[in-house]
């Protein structure tokens, strides 16, 4: 059985490392090792990478603030303004194009509506295909000039005006310096110019009274004289024919009377 050690009476046994637990002798206020060597200062605590980076950044001299390149900025602003101007111009062109297309579409709709209305009106009119049928129905009548005409006020006013005179009258009334139908024959020129006169009358640019006044002032109704002469000649022909027929009838009656007298004389004998 092991004996216990009495700590109070037995000497203290120092371990090999107990010497480091003793205070080192001081030399001129400096700590020295047991062999008399001076101890170095406590090692500096190592800095973290983040701290090192921060310190390095702080030690870098701050450079002067760079000057603003106003010329470059102005050039960029001008380029941006030019781009915006192009976009605005493009938008304006597209808006104008859309407006033009809308106006054209509206015009087409109105034109189609007029065509449909005219077609419906024509279909509602009685069918008179042949010219003879129209003449028989009274749509056209024979004028004093010998041509067929309609029965509206203008055609009636120009009834006795020859086609060449109608052309001159229409150009004067419409204030035309050139005949737009000069490539057509005289009859077609007269017809087309009369139609233009009808349009001018409908628009209120000229009146029937003004046309009649111009007609009479310039003596354009020459067909009236021709018609009167033709009527007189016709009357003369008819009178001569009647006189011949009367003479023929009188001669026949005389022959019958003479024959009767001869028969009576023979009967008396």
| Residue at 181 is within a domain | yes
pLDDT higher than 80, residue 114? yes
| Residue at 57 is within a domain | no
Q: What would the pLDDT profile of 85-109 be if each residue is shown by its tens digit?
A: 999 999 999 999 999 999 999 999 9
Number of domains into which the chain is organized: 3
Q: Would you say the pTM of this structure is higher than 0.75?
A: no
Are 209 and 245 members of one domain?
no
Q: What is the residue-averaged pLDDT of the chain?
A: 78
Beta bridge partners, 31, equal 26
Which alpha helices (DSSP H) does the chain contain, by range?
A: 49-59, 70-124, 131-137, 153-157, 163-173, 186-202, 208-217, 223-268
Residue 17 pLDDT class (50, 70, 90 cuts) = very low
The boundaries of the domain holding residue 177 are: 173-219
| Residue at 88 is within a domain | yes
Last residue of a domain, one of 66, 92, 126: 126
Kindly state the tokens that stand for 174. 């419409």
| Residue at 10 is within a domain | no
Residues 6+ apart with CB under 8 A from 30: 38, 39
């Amino acid at each position: 059985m092991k004996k216990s050690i009495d700590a109070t009476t037995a000497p203290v046994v120092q371990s090999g490392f107990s010497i480091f637990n003793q205070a080192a002798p001081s030399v001129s206020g400096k700590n020295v090792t047991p062999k008399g060597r001076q101890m170095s200062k406590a090692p500096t605590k190592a800095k973290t990478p983040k701290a090192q980076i921060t310190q390095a950044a702080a030690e870098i001299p701050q450079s002067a603030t760079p000057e603003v390149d106003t010329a470059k900025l102005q050039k960029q602003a001008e380029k941006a303004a030019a781009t915006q101007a192009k976009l605005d111009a493009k938008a304006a062109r597209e808006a104008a194009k859309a407006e033009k297309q809308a106006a054209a579409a509206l015009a087409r709709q109105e034109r189609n509506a007029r065509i449909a209305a005219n077609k419906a009106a024509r279909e509602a009119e009685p069918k008179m295909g042949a010219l003879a049928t129209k003449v028989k129905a009274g749509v056209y009548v024979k004028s004093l000039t010998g041509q067929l005409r309609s029965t509206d006020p203008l055609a009636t006013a120009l009834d006795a005006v020859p086609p060449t005179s109608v052309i001159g009258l229409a150009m004067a009334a419409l204030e035309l310096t050139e005949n737009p139908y000069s490539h057509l024959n005289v009859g077609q020129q007269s017809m087309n110019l009369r139609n233009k006169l009808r349009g001018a009358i409908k628009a209120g640019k000229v009146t029937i009274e003004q046309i009649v006044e111009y007609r009479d002032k310039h003596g354009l109704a020459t067909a009236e004289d021709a018609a009167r002469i033709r009527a007189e000649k016709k009357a003369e022909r008819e009178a001569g024919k009647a006189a011949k027929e009367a003479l023929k009838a009188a001669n026949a009656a005389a022959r019958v009377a003479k024959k009767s007298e001869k028969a009576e004389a023979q009967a008396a004998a």
